[in-house]
A and B are shown apart, each in its own frame.
Chain A
Amino acid sequence: MTSASAAQAVPPPLLEISGLSKRFPGVVALDDVSLDVRAGEILGLMGENGAGKSTLLKILSGAQPATAGRITFDGETYQPADPVAARTAGIVTIYQELSLIPTLTVAENIFVNRAPTGALGLVDWRRMRREALAILGRVGLSVHPDTPVSALSVAEQQLVEIARALSLGGRLIIMDEPTSALTEAEVQRLYSIMERLRREGMAIMFVTHRLEEASLMCDRMTVLRDGRLAGHLMREGGPIPVPRIIEKMVGRAASELYARPSRRDIAGPVRLSVRGLRTVRAADAPHAIVLDGVDLDLRAGEILGVAGLVGSGRTELARAIFGADPIAEGAILLDGVPVAPASPADARDLGIGLVPEDRKAQAIFAMLPIRQNFSIAAMDLYSGRLGFMSGAREVAALSEYRKAMSIRMASPEQTIDGLSGGNQQKVILARWLARDPKVLIVDEPTRGVDVGAKAEVHQILVQLAARGIAIMMISSELPEVLSVSDRIVTMRQGRISGEMPAHEATEESLMALMALESRPGEPA
């Protein structure tokens, strides 16, 4: 690779992105985004969930090609064919989900696929350890290179990833939510290493939800909103003020996409109560998100919006109530009666339904017909003695929902993967409505659903609530939470961090409850 970094008065940006777009069928994930990063600076990449940060990262790390736009890195056109090409060019991405191989040692991970070899092409272990030790020193990590990675904490593993990035000759390190699983002391250590790398001339792109830390660390920020560039912020004298970041992230007045349904009088009895709910921290996943004492009431006929960042415990709450994850402590009361669903089947029999977050992985049976996708949770209602299914009754019920929800499909016998995301989601909603549930939990009900169908899904939820179903709606999209909910709770770090009627809430107030720091220190 030729170097274009000849002596110049003002060094050009190391990375320059202009007019970058990424379109998926029916969705524009990234629309005409431009930004640049210079050597020796920390650029914050900010935005709500779904603003397009992940897509941008995927393009930069070579995981996905862009649809349009131009990227230059170090003066040369940058178009990585795959993640290996991105790393070779000098852009290393460190994801929240670390990519180390737990069974290998620290040194082996740093030199994975490119171990130094000696005579006969055999691995030169002594040189590998020596070089690993040197590079670990640069990130301030004092572990033996022969330690298996599985024995390290998440923070230490992260440093190993950074060390690997350095040893790969990375010049731009992209860090995706690096602090989300760290304790306060570990965060401080990471900051000081980021500072040191910056002084050494490294360019760092920092993606975080934690606004205070972003304000503290970043020289500049690029804010994305709905896949578009919302603006750039720059450090002037002091840190970039948090309110200015929020303003840019949220940006709009109440979006015209979300027509707020007329306010309804909902004073039904309390259907579902959750008291002091805690979940188990599994031994094999010590850093997974756990519920840490959740109290919640859900009334018949209301839509309770649950807002929270990824990792706040909102999905875990849904799964715990639904019997999908074991509960360590706490009580769930349904109509005042304590219940203990040990499995989703128990929860279903109690009258609780769940439309899960990840439709493809958790809800649909892609190769099965719509009819079977529809009736799977209510087969007892469509079968007679000996368990024989009545296809006629299934089809009759399905066609009712098809009409009521305007599910656009050709036939009940077509496989569900031929439907659009919105229509798939309606089928999954119908799956639960067929049981006439008391409580319906919907997790990201409009993820991967195009704009028109979103409004339809919202309308369906409002109608269901009007029928007396208690609905808990988890969503990353604040406009959705604001417009569809009657009442909103926010979650942070496995707890409820705030509650308010929907008409009193604003994106800013929710964002503040969701994202601002109150990180507990390390246990003394």
Chain B
Amino acid sequence: MTSPVAHRPIGGLNAFRILKQFGPLMFLLALMLVFAATNENFLSQLNLFNVARQISITGLIALGMTFVILTAGIDLSVGSLLAFCGMVAAIVAKGGAANTLSLSSNAGQGYGWFAALLAAVLVGTAAGLIQGLAITRLRVPPFVVTLGGLTIFRGLTLTLSGGGPISGFTPGMRWFGTGLVGPVPVPVIIFGAAAVLCHIVLRYTRFGRAVYAVGGNAEAARLSGVRVDRILVAVYMIVGFFSGLAAFVLSARLNSAEAVAGIGYELTVISAVVIGGTSLFGGIGGVGGTVVGAALIGVLVNGLVLNNVSSYTQQVVIGLILIAAVAFDRWLKLRAGT
């Protein structure tokens, strides 16, 4: 009989363990070195903050998606929901549907940026609530519910806007997209603060513990007294909330809400989460990885653009990296398991 003491040492300077935890980060740094070597503009402050601002929008949604994927779920509706929330925010910012054709950004005319922000996140959260209830009450798989949501929210956006954009917001609202605090773009600050908050919630609260438990073993979580359905509804509300927040920031940045905004975002967002090491089977991963994953995609696109690689080729590269990241993760797991 083997010793009853734990077979597997913990901590320890296990190379695989380190690779597993910091693999994406190391890859990101390596990539930055390569781009820094091939293009002198890459490491400029302006360019780096530009990259950071670009990843902020999908990054915000990816934070919410991390919660969902940790429970072994998925949300495909985020791109459409972003467009919908953006449109709602724009209408509120303009002071009602009647004023949306006006291009003026006269401050006295609408309901103000705060009402717009509130509308965006409320609509996003409510959409998440509805989808979460459909998943838990109707027992329809998340993939199907949110695939339906993808179509529904896009359709609602088009209905709401008549297909055209709503443009021209107050400087107060635009600041959230284009403003700077010192050298740092405001969207980057929002993203950074949200990431820290999400990290704390996931790591240090009962709710965060429950999210990992549900994703790790839903039946065991239920039999331990975790109200699994409530946790599931909550994570879809969270990703909805962040879709609304991202919509607000995006509209503010573009000074316009577009009916076609966010098409394909769900794939970028899910890629960022998965490249960051969160398992699609749930229970493993976290916000840190997602930030790195989002940054990795952002840096990759930026570096390829700077090196004059066509946008068509970029898509090929991102897809390859996604597959490689997961394959690498699998490989590490196999090696670490023996």
State the A residues within 8 Å of B (CB).
Answer: 25-26, 322, 324, 343-345, 347-349, 354, 356, 361-368, 372, 375-377, 379-380, 383, 386-389, 408-411, 413-415, 417-420, 422-423, 431, 450, 452-453
Task: Please tell me if the beta carbons of A361 and B209 are within 8 angstroms of each other in the complex.
Answer: no
What is the CA–CA distance of A415 and B14 in the complex, to the nearest angstrom?
15
Task: Please tell me if the beta carbons of B216 and A365 are within 8 angstroms of each other in the complex.
Answer: yes
What is the CA–CA distance of A1 and B223 in the complex, to the nearest angstrom?
52
Partner of A361, one of B4, B220, B226, B284: B220
Residues in B with CB closer than 8 Å to A388 are 204-206
Q: Is B306 in the interface zone, CB < 8 Å from A?
A: no
Pull 12 A–B residue pairs with CB atoms less than 8 Å apart, ordered by A.
A25-B2, A362-B219, A362-B223, A372-B212, A379-B210, A383-B206, A388-B204, A389-B204, A409-B6, A411-B11, A417-B8, A423-B6
What is the CA–CA distance of A524 and B284 in the complex, to the nearest angstrom?
55
Task: Please tell me if the beta carbons of A349 and B223 are within 8 angstroms of each other in the complex.
Answer: no
Task: Please tell me if the beta carbons of B10 and A418 are within 8 angstroms of each other in the complex.
Answer: yes
Q: Is B222 in the interface zone, CB < 8 Å from A?
A: yes
What is the CA–CA distance of A413 and B210 in the complex, to the nearest angstrom?
17
Answer whether A363 and B204 are a contact pair too, CB < 8 Å, given A26-B2, A368-B212.
no
Task: Please tell me if the beta carbons of B206 and A389 are within 8 angstroms of each other in the complex.
Answer: yes
Task: Please tell me if the beta carbons of B4 and A453 are within 8 angstroms of each other in the complex.
Answer: yes
> Could you tell me the distance in whole angstroms from the C-beta of B221 to the nearest C-beta in chain A?
7
Task: Please tell me if the beta carbons of B220 and A26 are within 8 angstroms of each other in the complex.
Answer: no
Going nearest first, the 4 A-B pairs with the smallest beta carbon separation are A348-B225, A418-B8, A414-B10, A365-B216
> Could you tell me the distance in whole angstroms from the C-beta of B64 to the nearest C-beta in chain A?
18
Q: Which residue of B lies closest to A391 (CB)?
A: B204
Task: Please tell me if the beta carbons of A372 and B4 are within 8 angstroms of each other in the complex.
Answer: no
Partner of A408, one of B4, B11, B210, B225: B4
Task: Please tell me if the beta carbons of B284 and A410 are within 8 angstroms of each other in the complex.
Answer: no
A-contact 0/1 string along B211-246, CB 8 Å cutoff: 011001101111111110000000000000000000
Q: Is B9 in the interface zone, CB < 8 Å from A?
A: yes
Which range holds the interface residue count of chain B? 20 to 34
Task: Please tell me if the beta carbons of A367 and B209 are within 8 angstroms of each other in the complex.
Answer: no
Task: Please tell me if the beta carbons of B6 and A362 are within 8 angstroms of each other in the complex.
Answer: no
Task: Please tell me if the beta carbons of B216 and A367 are within 8 angstroms of each other in the complex.
Answer: yes
Residues in B with CB closer than 8 Å to A415 are 8, 10
Task: Please tell me if the beta carbons of B219 and A361 are within 8 angstroms of each other in the complex.
Answer: yes
Residues in A with CB closer than 8 Å to B223 are 322, 324, 344, 354, 356, 362-363
> Could you tell me the distance in whole angstroms from the C-beta of B209 to the nearest C-beta in chain A?
6
Task: Please tell me if the beta carbons of B205 and A413 are within 8 angstroms of each other in the complex.
Answer: no
Residues in B with CB closer than 8 Å to A349 are 225
Task: Please tell me if the beta carbons of B10 and A410 are within 8 angstroms of each other in the complex.
Answer: yes
Partner of A420, one of B4, B213, B219: B4
Residues in B with CB closer than 8 Å to A343 are 222, 227
What is the CA–CA distance of A356 and B223 in the complex, to the nearest angstrom?
8
Partner of B6, one of A356, A376, A386, A408: A408
Task: Please tell me if the beta carbons of A410 and B222 are within 8 angstroms of each other in the complex.
Answer: no
Task: Please tell me if the beta carbons of A365 and B205 are within 8 angstroms of each other in the complex.
Answer: no
What is the CA–CA distance of A379 and B227 in the complex, to the nearest angstrom?
12
Task: Please tell me if the beta carbons of B9 and A410 are within 8 angstroms of each other in the complex.
Answer: yes
Task: Please tell me if the beta carbons of A383 and B213 are within 8 angstroms of each other in the complex.
Answer: no
